[in-house]
Structures are given as C-alpha cells and as structure tokens.
Amino acid sequence: MKAAPSPQAEPVPDSRAWRVLTSSTFAFTICFAVWMMFAILGIPLKKQLHLTDTEFGLIAAMPVLTGSLARVPLGIWTDRYGGRIVFFITMLATIVPIWLVSYATQLWQFLVLGLFVGFAGASFSVGTPYVARWFPKSRQGFAMGVFGAGNSGAALNKFVAPVLIVAAGTWTIVPKVYAVAMLVTALLFWVFSASNPAHRVSGSTSVAAQMRVLADPRVMRYAQYYSVVFGGYVGLSLWMPQYYVNQYGFGIEQAAFLAACFSLPGGVLRALGGWLSDRYGAYRTTWAVMWVALACFFLLSYPPTDFTIHGAHGPLGLHISTGPVFYTVLMFIVGIAMAVGKASVFKFIGDDYTDNIGAVSGVVGLAGGLAGFILPILFGFLVDLTGVRTTCFMLMFGATVVSLLFMHVSFRPEALAKLTSKTRHGVAPELKETTYSE
C-alpha cells in the first residue's frame, strides 16, 4: 500500500532574508525617531512660540498626518516596484526638510516642514510587505513583529534629543543631527538590503484591482483595532513628555526618560507580539491586548481628586491621585500591550491578504497613523476645554471599548470552541471571522 505523501515543508529563509530584516528594522528605527522628533522639540517650542496645549498637539502631530496619508500609495508602489527602491527614495526625500526645521521661527513654518518630515513615518507600509515576502507564512508574524520593533525609535528619540538639547544649549541641533543620521541610514540600507523581482505584484495587475480588496469589511475592522494599538501608541508617545512636565513638574530630561518607559517596550516587544500571534492566533492575542489596555486606561483616567467625608468625629479628607511611579508602571504595561497588539493586527493581514499585503497594510497603517495625528490634538483640546489632564486617558478608554465591541460582534461565539487544540506544528488554528448578520 502506497504511503500518502508528506506535506511539503516551507522554505527556510536564506541569508538575504535576514539581511533584509536587519537592515529594514534599523532603517525603520531611525525613521520612527525622526517621525517622533517634535515630541521633544515641542517642549521648548511651546515656550518659545507661546503655544496652547491644542497648538502643541498640532505641531507635535503634523508629521504623523503625512506619514499616514502616504502609506497607501507607498504600500501599493512597494507591491509593484519592490520595497528596496521605495524605502530608499522615501528616506532620501526627508533629509532636506529635516535639516530646514532648525531654521524655522514661526508656527506655520514648523507645520509645513513637519508635513515633509512625516514621510519618514510612511516607511512602515513599505517595510512591512517588503520584509514579510522574504519569509514563509508560518514566520511572517515574527518577521513583521521584528521589523515593527523599529517603533522603539520613539524611545531612541526620547533618549537622544534631550541630551543634544542640553549639550548644545539649543533645540536647533536636533534636526541637523537627525538629517545626517537619515542620510547615513539610507546609504547603509541600500548597501545591505536586497531585491527579489518575484516579490512584486504582476505588472498586469491594475491599481484598481489592488484597491478592490479594501471593500472587504474586515479591512475596516483591522483598521479600527490598529487605530487603538498604533494610533494610541503614537499619540501617547507624542503627548507623554510634556504630560510629565506639566502634571508632575519634571525637567525635559527626566520627562523624556520616564516617557521612554512606555515607548521602549511599545516598540521592542513587537517581535514578541508576532511570536504570540503565530502561536496562539491573531484573534486571541488581540482580544487579550484590548482588555489589558482597557484596565490600565480606567485607572489612568481618574483625575487627582479631594473628598471630604463627614465622619462621626468630624470631616475626613481623602486625596486620590496617580503618582508618577504608579503612572509610569501603568504606562509600561500599556506599552507592552500595544507592542503585542500592533503585531497581532498585522498577523490578521498576513493571514488574510497574502497577495495584497502592501495595499491592505497601507490602509490599516493609514488608519493608525491618522489616529496618531488626531489624538494629540484632541488631547490638547480636551485639556484646554476641561482643564483636566487625564482626559487623554478617558478618550483612550472609550476607543478601546469600541474595539472590544467590534471584536465581540465580528466573531461567532460558537467558533471560539474550535480553538481548543493546536496543530501538530504547535500553531493554534486561526479563528474564522464572521458577523452575526451572515
């Protein structure tokens, strides 16, 4: 009796795949640090230009707007022309605007230059499909997670920028150093990366055909999830340094260091999120992330409050507030949760849209980026409106609730019972998404 053929083993990534992953992750780390530049520069600029909290949010978030809007076309061009050339050109395009920031003196000049600097953040939708296609499907979650660890550039910016400002005695040194760093990074990326024409979408495939998949409602759901885990990460990374300064009275160096306790795990541990998503599935991982974030945002939302209790022996005063230590611990936990969530959402995309990763990741990245642009502005507006600084966490709490509701109604409850066993490869079968209306 003839034995049944064994399933074909997936190809093992070659040395080029690891070079691409390493060089792309390094390049994205520098790009992300540049993208988050105004999180630190905004603090001295707020005093110099006499900005309100809303205006601070606008100047800090302006690069995020362009970095979000450019993600869709760059993702499509990556599918068609290859990630290496698109990534390289994107980095080169930001060098001059970064340098010119040091010569700006008025709010509108910073806003305009911020738009051009923002292209650095759009590199995410280039690197994600570029890296993913070098790896077999069973390792794509891990590969995209490692690349996404470049989000730790937000922490790098918080370590480097304050030191440069204090050492030079002026904020203008930061854009000049970052411009040189971007040039060196682009050249190193070109030398160590590689191209594979087989990874490109067929030239006969029109842009309209690539975009047609975006009508799938799952794309919009993934975009909503990503707007919380990535948009929230970007918004809070931009907002936290000045929150420490204004809420707790810390100096710029202390504030930036403590804010990095959120940004660093929020970037570095994205690789862990990719591994967890490969092993336990994108649904389970994302569901757990949202609940952890919800609990932390609930505690962070409570503003400093004084109570007077009329006791039997007279009034009793009670003060409730989130001190800097407890606040930092909670934000550290949120950073870990968001790092895992950013990877798990893109595991959904890698599983469902193998041939359109660039287009779909561009749209999902666009949603996350736009949330990262809007949130700091809303944070500032809410503070100006209410005078309560913890309103930023109230807003994040509400957004997380929406994501949990979306996930609850997007999966059939009876399908959860099917996720009780793992495959012989040690990977949990992914939950098939359906809606109650089907």
Q: Return the pLDDT at 26.
A: 95
Handedness of CA 417, 423, 424, 426 (dihedral sign): negative
d(Cα 210, Cα 96) in Å, to the nearest integer?
32
Reported as a single tens digit per residue, the pLDDT across 350-383 is 777 766 666 677 778 778 888 988 999 999 999 9
Q: Return the pLDDT at 113.
A: 95
Closest by Cα among 19, 7, 304, 33 to 153: 33
Which of 39-53, 82-96, 209-223 has the weakest average pLDDT? 209-223
Reported as a single tens digit per residue, the pLDDT across 65-104 is 888 888 778 888 888 888 899 999 999 999 999 999 999 9
Better-predicted residue by pLDDT, 264 or 298: 298
d(Cα 257, Cα 155) in Å, to the nearest integer?
8
Tokens standing for residue 88: 């390289």
Closest by Cα among 195, 239, 189 to 53: 239
85 lies in some domain: yes
Tokens standing for residue 41: 């520069």
3 lies in some domain: no
Q: Return the pLDDT at 208.
A: 61
- Of 97-101, 198-202, 405-409, the range with the highest mean pLDDT is 97-101
Residue 298 has pLDDT above 60, yes or no: yes
Average pLDDT over residues 201-221: 65
3-state helix, strand, coil in the chain (%, to 5): 75, 5, 20
Q: Return the pLDDT at 9.
A: 54
Residue 349 has pLDDT above 60, yes or no: yes
d(Cα 424, Cα 34) in Å, to the nearest integer?
44
1 lies in some domain: no
268 lies in some domain: yes
Q: Return the pLDDT at 27.
A: 95
Q: Return the pLDDT at 98.
A: 96
Residues contacting residue 438 through CB under 8 Å, at least 6 positions apart: none
Number of domains in the chain: 1
264 lies in some domain: yes
Average pLDDT over residues 259-275: 81
Please, what is the average pLDDT of the chain? 83
Closest by Cα among 395, 403, 389, 417 to 337: 403
DSSP structural state of residue 428: P
Reported as a single tens digit per residue, the pLDDT across 299-329 is 999 888 887 888 777 788 777 778 889 999 9
2 lies in some domain: no
252 lies in some domain: yes
Residue 146 has pLDDT above 90, yes or no: no
Tokens standing for residue 65: 């707007």
What share of the chain in percent tops pLDDT 90? 37
Band (1; pLDDT cuts 50, 70, 90): very low
Residue 435 has pLDDT above 60, yes or no: no
Better-predicted residue by pLDDT, 170 or 212: 170
Handedness of CA 135, 136, 142, 145 (dihedral sign): positive
Band (438; pLDDT cuts 50, 70, 90): very low
Q: Return the pLDDT at 25.
A: 93
Structural domain span for residue 406: 15-308+317-418
351 lies in some domain: yes
CATH code for the domain in which residue 200 is found? 1.20.1250.20
Q: Return the pLDDT at 314.
A: 77
Angle between helices 282-301 and 324-352 in degrees, nearest 10: 160
Which of 20-34, 181-195, 337-351 has the weakest average pLDDT? 337-351
Better-predicted residue by pLDDT, 72 or 207: 72
